[in-house]
Structures are given as C-alpha cells and as structure tokens.
A and B are shown apart, each in its own frame.
Chain A
Amino acid sequence: MEAAGIAAAPRTPRRRRARAGSALEWVRERLTTTPGRLVLTSIVVVVGAACFGIIATGAEQSRERAVSTGRTATEPLLANAVNLYAALSDANATVATGLLGVGGLEPQAARNRYLQDLDRATGALAALTRGVGTASAQSSLGAIADRLPLYSGLIETARANSRQGFPVGAAYLRQAATMLNQTILRAANRVYAIEAGRLNDDYRTGTSSATLVALGAAIALGLVPLLLAQPYVTRVSHRVVNVPMVVATVVLAGVSVWALIALTGEQNSLAAAQRDGSDVVEVRSAADVLLSRAQGDLSLTLVNRGTDVRDPLDFAAVLRVLTTGELAPRLNAGFASYWTAAKRVQGLEGGGQLEAAIRQLPAVAAVSERLDRDLREQITVAQDRFDHAAADAATALDGLWLAIPLAAVLAAVLALLGLRQRINEYR
C-alpha cells in the first residue's frame, strides 16, 4: 500500500493533465482527415468487440458458476440437511410410539424403523460434515455429532425401563425428546436454513435479470460500432459492401443470439429446477418434519400418562401450522384424515380415557407412516426433477464459454482487416 502511494506521488496533477491533453490533441488531429477517422473507427470497433467479449464472458461465467455450484454442491448439501432433519424427527416419533406397544414390547417394525432413521441421520451428518463450508454450519454439525450418542443412550435407557414396566422409562424418553428438540433439531434447522439460503443465492445469481441486461449491453457495445461504421466506410470508399466487416457483424450477431437463447434457456431450466424441484423438496420436508413432531407429541402425551402439559400444547401449535397455515393448501388430503384421527386420540387422552387412546394410537401411527411414505416419494420425484432441470440448465450454456471470446476476437480481426484495406487506399 505504502509503496503504491510513494510511486503515485511524483505523478502530479499537472503532468496527468498534460498527458490527457496530448491524447485529446492526437484524436483531434485524426478527426481532420478521412484516414485518421478510419483509424479512430477501427479503434472504436476493436474496443467494442473487446467489451463484448469481456462483459458477455463475465455474464456467461456468472450464470455457469451459479448453475454448477447449485447443482453439484449446494443442492446436494441441502438434500442431506433435509434428510438429517427428517430422519431425526422420524426417529423420535417412531420410538415414542413404539414404546407404547401393548405388552410393554416395542414392535419389531418400529425398532427397525428407528435404527434405519439413525442410520440415515448419521449418513447425512457425515456427508454434511465433509461438504459444508461455513463455520456456523460446521459448529452446528459438531453440536449434533456431540449429542446424537447421548440421545440414543437415553433412548436405550428408556427402552430398558419400559420393558420392565417402569414409569421412569417415560422420564428418559422425555429427556431424550427434549434434548432432540431443543439442541439437536435446532442445530439441524440452522444447517438447513444456511444451505437453503445458499441455494437461494445460487438461484438468484443463476436467474438474475441483471446478467441479461449486461449481456444486452455487451451485444450493443459490440454491434453498434460495427453497424455504424459500415455505412460510413461505404460512403467514404464508394463500395457497397465491406465483406470482412459484414462477416464480423454476422459472427458477432450469431453468437449474440446464441448467448441470448442459451442464457434464457438456462434461466428457465433453473427456475423450473427450483419450482418443480427444490421448492417441492423444501415444502414437503417441512411438512414431513412437522408430521413427525406432531406424532411424537401425541405419543409422548400418552407415554406421560396424563401428567404432561407441554406436549399437547406443542401438538396443537403444529396442528395449527399444518391445517390453517400457508403450508396447508400445498398438502394432500391425507393430512385431514391424520388430524381427525390424531385429534380423536388426543381427545380421549384429555378426557382421561388413556387406555382407549393407547389402543387407537397404532391406527394413527399407521396413517402417519403412510403420509410419511407419500411425502418421501414426492420428495424423491421432486429431487429427480431438480436433477434433470439443473442438468438442462448446465447443458444450455455448453460451449458458450469458448464461443464468446472466439467471436469477439474474430469480429475484431475481421473488422480491422476490412478497415485496413480502406486505410491503405489513402497511403
């Protein structure tokens, strides 16, 4: 910094003004003669072509980078974040429901499902830890990795006690659920929010109108001098067409049209990837997580045998979000049947008919499992749509990174050739 300051010191304003003055002098001199004007024209055309090359390449590269990070880095991380979140939520709901199995024995299917959920969660956690870049996401993942073994330890203690019919099992289950909800799932939510935000940034860059405006400006900067120069050259040289300049115009215009079509195609594909792909993944996953949370609340209410005030309140809050919130119209009719059944169980519990409520719980859990399966199928389909549309977006830009600079150089060289012929006529 200091060295630059010292170097700049001798350049006094007077000397700079003198230099600017002499450049103006030079231009004014050239303007007085036809060959001079032709030299100036060739400079303007070359500068225009260079501007086209630089700005259009910049615009294309910004889109290409956005598509490529979104497709190969950000979205896969988001998918893993969603998976982690949903798997942990499902594990908790499954174990709470399973421990209410009549006879004190957890059904084998519930046990398997819980283990699969944990497996899915640890897989997603490992993938996220490898791929996540930001420090805050890393620290959230660290918090999850620290507590997950404690969580599963509490669950096993709850299981061992419940097997013997000991009510203290419910206390361990509640402790596990509290740890999951208040630390693990909150951290998962932070990671999810960070990754969703980053993908959204990629979408913004990848579909930005500013890029198209920049491309339009680049095309204008490249084409306008060429188009204006040709009538002038025709006038001074008394020839109808200057073939190299016409070819230069055609090359530049051709690549411009290609770039416009490519960027538009990329933008539409990327918008489709968001609309039909990741947006659906995000909304369905949120619904899936909330469904698990409601089912966990319902089961914990019954596990706690009438002594719990927090879980029924949380159940009601989740119910409100899923039935009257903005999310509701996007969910399928199956949710209505779940809520009806779940509310009946909660009503039985609230009225003190605990045994009847527990007898009805497996039926409610079955509806919840069916909905969860549907949601996960929809998420898989949406993920597929994302993959295809994002691949289309990337393909749309293929070759453009080479074509734009090539066209700019070719147009400049051809225009120079064409103008040089005319300038030489005056020598």
Chain B
Amino acid sequence: MSRPIRHLLPLALVALAVAGCGTSSNHSMRLALAALETPTPTPAASAASKPVSCKNLTASLRPPATIPVPSTMPQGSFMRAIQRRGYLIAGVSAGALDLGYLNPATGQIEGFEIELVRELARAIFGNPTGHYRLLALSVPQRIPFVNAGKVDIVVDAVTITCARKQQVDFSTVYYDAHQRVLVLSSSHATSVRDLAGQPVCAAAGSSSIDVMKKLPDPPKPVGLPLGADCMAALQQGTVAAISTDDSILLGFKAQDPNTRLIGRSLADVPYGMAISKAHPEFVRFVNGVLANLRADGTWRRLYDKWLGHIRGSNPRLPPARYDG
C-alpha cells in the first residue's frame, strides 16, 4: 500500500512546484487602470467677496501739474525704477478680441488696451518700441500679480469695484463699458425684456449674472466658464443671447457678423488700470498720461482703430474724476 504512494509522492511534489511558478498576476492591469482613471481636479471656487460700499467709486488721484519729460523721471519715483529697468511690465488679457488678444497670425498680443500700454511706455521712455513687456494674466492673477510687483500695472479689463479699491489703486476710467445684450440677427428681441425666461449666457460667477437676476422680468442666466464659451453657445443655439460688457460683446460681434447688440445699458462697468497702493506717484503719472490721451484725441483714434469700426459700438469719452 505504501510503496505506490511513495512512487507518486515525487510526482505530486513536482506538480505542486510547477503549479506555483507560472501563475498570473493582475498587478499590471490594476496599475494601468488606476493610472488611466486619474480624475481631473476641480478648480477651487473663488470665495465670494463681501459687498463693500464706497464713495466716489471712479475717482482717482489727481495728476501732477506737469508730467515729467520722457526719460527724465524724478529721482526716487517708481517711474524712475521702471526707466532704470529699461521696460514697463504690464499685465494684460490675451483672449479678448480687439481689447487684448494674442493674434495667431502675428504671434503678438494686440488690441486697444495694448495700445494704451504702448502710450504709457512712450511717456516714460519717449519711444515705446522695446520698452514694454506684456504678461498674459488670468482673471484670478490680476490683483495678486500687481501687488507682488510681478507687473507694474494691470490693463486687463479690470472693473473698478469698491472691494478691489481696498486692495489696489485704480487709474481714472480708461474705458466706460456697459453691460448689454448680444443676440443672433435672426432674433426678434429688441431689448432684454423680450428675453424674459429665456437662457442668456455670461461667464460663470461674473457680476453680469447678478445684474441679470435683478432685472424686473429676468431672463434665465446661464453661466459658462469663459466668455468665449458663451459665444460658441450662442452660435450653437443653446442660449438665446449673451449679456456682458459691451467691450467683450463687440469682440464677439467682430467674430460673427450674424449677431447684433440690442437694448440699452443694463449696468455701468468702468475699467481702470490697477496699480499697487505702494506707488501713488505712479497712479498720478498714469492719470496725467490718460488726461493727455483724452485731450489730444489719441484715445478716440485708438478706440476707432480697434473698436469703433464695429457697428453698434457707442464711443463715449470716459470722464476723469479726481478726489485726492
């Protein structure tokens, strides 16, 4: 009885040893699947700022009696530091057609706001060419970058608000934008009232949405991540209209002639150049340059060059107001 079992024992052992070696493992499969399922992180929602009220929202620091001659900025001033560095650093937008946008045809950022930066560089150096650098900032970067000194000034469609005025100084208003409504040419709507209950798009979390909500017969606000997403949605017919700053709407209109601006201004949206509170002399200098641009017709010439040719634009020289 025991003999045959003894014969079989080695066989069984071999079988077991063999069974152990060539086995499969699903480690690689799990590794690959886990890597492929890497989730996209959700951007942190920006904290809603508390509503702050202030007097004389658009008032800024009075310019000096005489603006320094180019290349001879006063000792100790911030302009002198810029002059010594050799170039002005401005934070701008790269995605707003005709205001500040990266033209793919030239590989350069250009637009109305960029021309204003050039004029500032001209006032400091006498000749703008080669004396300014542009940083394309995202919306959340605008205020922190100027306060950290990474840019000297932000000219990036920054709306002057009381909350922002606590963080940075603003120049006088260089562009008086108005919240308006853009529809397809085929639309029968003549004002925002005709759009009551219909989907109207604006950048998610923007003040344009709040303005819409407060209207007497409000449309249904639709928030998309970026303004340009609204433009695509309008073209695709998923929204009836876009309501945001006319400066942006004019840029959209330039991209699609089958659209038109309707109705009157829903809200006043003043744009100012943001400058660190550490450099009041620079704020005064910039206001002086802006006053000259208004007075000598440069402002209107630049406006006409970039935005004035679009039908429906409503150029109004923004008034300069001072309080200190």
Mark A residues whose CB is within 8 Å of B: 85, 100-104, 161-162, 164-168, 170-172, 174-175, 181, 189, 192-193, 196-197, 200, 203-204, 206-207, 209, 212-213, 215-216, 219-220, 223-224, 227-228, 231, 256, 260, 264, 267-268, 270-272, 274, 279-280, 282-283, 285-287, 289-290, 304-310, 313-314, 316-318, 321-322, 325-327, 349, 351-355, 358-359
A366 to B151 alpha-carbon distance, docked (Å) = 32
Q: What residue of chain A has the Cβ atom nearest to residue B231's Cβ?
A: A168
- Expressed in whole angstroms, the Cα–Cα distance for A285 and B140 within the complex equals 36
- Docked complex: B13-31 residues within 8 A CB-CB of A: 14-16, 18-24, 26, 28-29, 31
Q: Is the CB of A282 within 8 A of B226?
A: no
Q: What residues of chain A lie closer than 8 Å to B256, measured between beta carbons?
A: 168
Could you list some 12 contacts between A and B, CB below 8 A? A171-B226, A196-B33, A272-B22, A283-B28, A304-B226, A306-B95, A307-B94, A327-B32, A349-B136, A352-B137, A354-B136, A355-B107
Q: Mostly helix, strand, loop or mixed at chain A's interface?
A: helix
CA of A220 to CA of B4, assembled, Å? 10
Please, what's the 1-or-0 string for B94-112, where 1 marks a CB less than 8 Å from any CB in chain A?
1111000111110111000
**Given A172-B232, A209-B23: A306 and B94 interface contact (C-beta under 8 Å):** yes
B38 close to A196 (CB less than 8 A): no
**Would you call A167 and B135 a contact (CB within 8 A)?**
no
Question: Cβ of B11: which chain A residues have Cβ within 8 Å of it?
Answer: 216, 219, 256, 260
Partner of B23, one of A223, A271, A317, A327: A271
| A167 and B22 in contact, given A313-B43, A353-B135 (Cβ under 8 angstroms) | no
Interface pair A207/B228, CB less than 8 Å apart: no
Q: Can you add 10 more A-B contacts, CB < 8 Å, to A267-B22, A309-B138, A352-B145?
A: A171-B229, A172-B232, A212-B18, A231-B3, A264-B18, A267-B18, A268-B21, A290-B38, A322-B35, A352-B150
| Contact assessment for A104 and B105 in the assembled complex, using a CB-CB cutoff below 8 Å | yes
Query: In this complex, what residue of A is CB-closest to B140?
Result: A309
Closest to A89 in B: B36
Q: Is the CB of B24 within 8 A of A317?
A: no
Identity of the chain B residue whose Cβ is nearest the Cβ of A174 in the assembled complex: B229
Pair B4/A189 contact, Cβ less than 8 Å: no
What's the tally of chain B residues with a CB closer than 8 Å to chain A? 70
Q: How far is the CB of B278 from chain A (nearest CB, A)?
A: 20
Q: How distant is the Cα of A349 from the Cα of B94 in the complex, in angstroms? A: 11
Closest Cβ of chain B: how far from A382's Cβ, in Å?
11
Are B95 and A304 closer than 8 Å at their CB atoms?
yes
Is the pair B35, A321 in contact by a Cβ cutoff of 8 Å? yes
Contact at B24–A207, with CB atoms within 8 Å? yes
CB pair A279–B101 under 8 Å, yes or no, is no
A290/B24 in contact, CB under 8 A: no
- In the complex, A200→B26 CA distance in Å? 7
Structural contact, B23 and A307, CB atoms closer than 8 A: no
B76 at the interface (CB under 8 A from A): no
Whether A216 lies near B138 (C-beta < 8 A) is: no
**B134 surroundings in chain A (CB, below 8 A):** 352, 355
With a 10 A CB-CB cut-off, give which of B3, B108, B109, B232 has the most chain A CB atoms: B232
Q: Does B235 contact A (CB under 8 A)?
A: yes
Report which of A192, A260, A318, A326 forms a contact with B14, defined as CB distance below 8 A.
A260
Q: Cα distance A102–B104 when bound, in Å?
A: 6
CB pair A167–B96 under 8 Å, yes or no, is yes
Asked, given contacts A167-B228, A196-B29, A268-B22, whether A318 binds B38 with beta carbons under 8 Å apart, the answer is yes
A163 and B90 alpha carbons, distance in the complex (Å): 28
What separation, in Å, do the CA atoms of A270 and B18 have in the docked complex? 14
Count A/B pairs, Cβ under 8 Å.
214
Interface contact A354-B18, CB-CB below 8 Å = no
Q: How far apart are the CA atoms of A249 and B102 in the complex, in Å? A: 87
Q: In the complex, what residue of chain A is closest to B96 when comparing beta carbons?
A: A167
Q: What CA separation (Å) do A394 and B111 show in the bound complex?
A: 69
Q: Would A352 and B91 be within 8 Å (CB), given that A260-B18, A313-B41, A358-B107 are in contact?
A: yes
A residues less than 8 Å from B19 (CB atoms)? 209, 212-213, 267
Whether B8 sits at the interface, judged by CB under 8 Å, is yes
B271 within 8 A of A: no
Which among A167, A189, A209, A309 is the interface contact of B20 at CB below 8 angstroms? A209
- Residues in A with CB closer than 8 Å to B15 are 212-213, 215-216, 260
Contacts A165-B103, A167-B228, A283-B31; A305 near B4 (Cβ below 8 A): no
Q: Which residues of chain B are within 8 angstroms of A172 by Cβ–Cβ distance?
A: 232
B296 contacts partner chain A, Cβ-Cβ < 8 Å? no
Contact of A354 with B38 in the complex, beta carbons under 8 Å: no
| Residue numbers in A under 8 Å from B93 (CB-CB) | 305-307
Q: Tell me the bound Cα distance from A209 to B19 in angstroms.
A: 5
Cα separation A422 to B140 with both chains bound (whole Å) = 100
- The answer to whether B28 and A103 have CB atoms under 8 Å apart is no
Asked if A167 and B23 sit within 8 Å, CB to CB, the answer is no
A317 to B37 alpha-carbon distance, docked (Å): 11
B18 touches A207 (CB 8 A): no
Q: Which residue of A lies closest to B252 (CB)?
A: A168
B29 — which chain A residues lie within 8 A by C-beta? 196-197, 200, 279, 282
A291 CB, min distance to chain B CBs, angstroms: 11
Closest chain B CB from A245 CB (angstroms)? 13
Residue B139 is within 8 A (CB to CB) of chain A in the complex: yes
Residues of A near B231 (CB, < 8 A) are: 168, 171
Q: Is B292 an interface residue (CB 8 A)?
A: no
A145 to B: closest C-beta gap in Å: 21
Which residues from chain A contact B95 at a C-beta distance below 8 Å? 167, 170, 304-307
Q: How far is the CA of A272 from the CA of B18 in the complex (A)?
A: 14
**Contact pick for B136, options A161, A212, A305, CB 8 Å:** A305
Q: Is the CB of A355 within 8 A of B232?
A: no
Chain B contacts of A349 at CB under 8 A?
Answer: 136
Asked whether any CB of chain A lies closer than 8 Å to the CB of B166, the reply is no
Please state if B107 and A171 are interface contacts (CB–CB under 8 Å). Answer: no
B31 touches A326 (CB 8 A): yes
Bound CA–CA A422/B141 (angstroms): 101
Cβ of B1 within 8 Å of any chain A Cβ, yes or no, is yes
CB distance from A313 to the nearest CB of B (A): 4
Could you say which residues of chain B place their CB within 8 Å of the CB of A209? 19-20, 23
Interface residue? B39 (CB, 8 A): yes
B contact residues around A270 at 8 Å (CB)? 22, 24
Q: Is the CB of A305 within 8 A of B14?
A: no
